[in-house]
Structure 1
């Protein structure tokens, strides 16, 4: 099973959560970004419906895959930032 880590970081004059190289929208406070990341993790744990998804990879190629409803990654939030507001 896949394991993903969302990280709360300072970003663009505020705070965001990040997965890999992708940032969320900017939040004005650390606590707001942390709460948003925790909501995302909670939503990832909910089973959904099987679906066909399409996505574009870093090289620009498109892919189509079938995703099972119970195929959920293990996810958590890593909050290793100092809580200094920008």
Structure 2
């Protein structure tokens, strides 16, 4: 799995987004980029391996082990607004 953080203009400032979900709005492009890089780095941190239980939409319960080592790859995609296209 790969999670891509995109730096975009948003709501009068700058934000990063993953899929269709936007972060908070930052005043500058550099602030949004720094926040995206921090979020991407945090996403890669390993954690505890835990037993989890969840219900699917059909009402069935499932149990599985969620490995704390199973972290996604991340990438920050940025088009620098100060560079010519």
Shared fold per TM-score greater than 0.5: yes
Aligned residues: CA RMSD = 2.6
CA apart distance, 1:46: 1.2
| Larger radius of gyration between Structure 1 and Structure 2 | 2
Gaps of 5+ in 2: none
Corresponding pairs, count: 77
1:55-70 equivalences in 2 (<5 Å): 61=57, 66-70=65-69
SS at match of 1:18: strand
Q: Point out 4+ residue stretches in structure 1 off by more than 2 angstroms.
A: 50-54, 61-67
CA apart distance, 1:47: 0.5
Instruction: Classify 1:38/1:67 alpha carbon distance in 2 versus 1 (closer, same or farther; 3 Å).
Output: same
The aligned residue for residue 80 of structure 1 is: 79
Gaps of 5+ in 1: 55-60
Q: Does 1:16 align with 2:38?
A: no
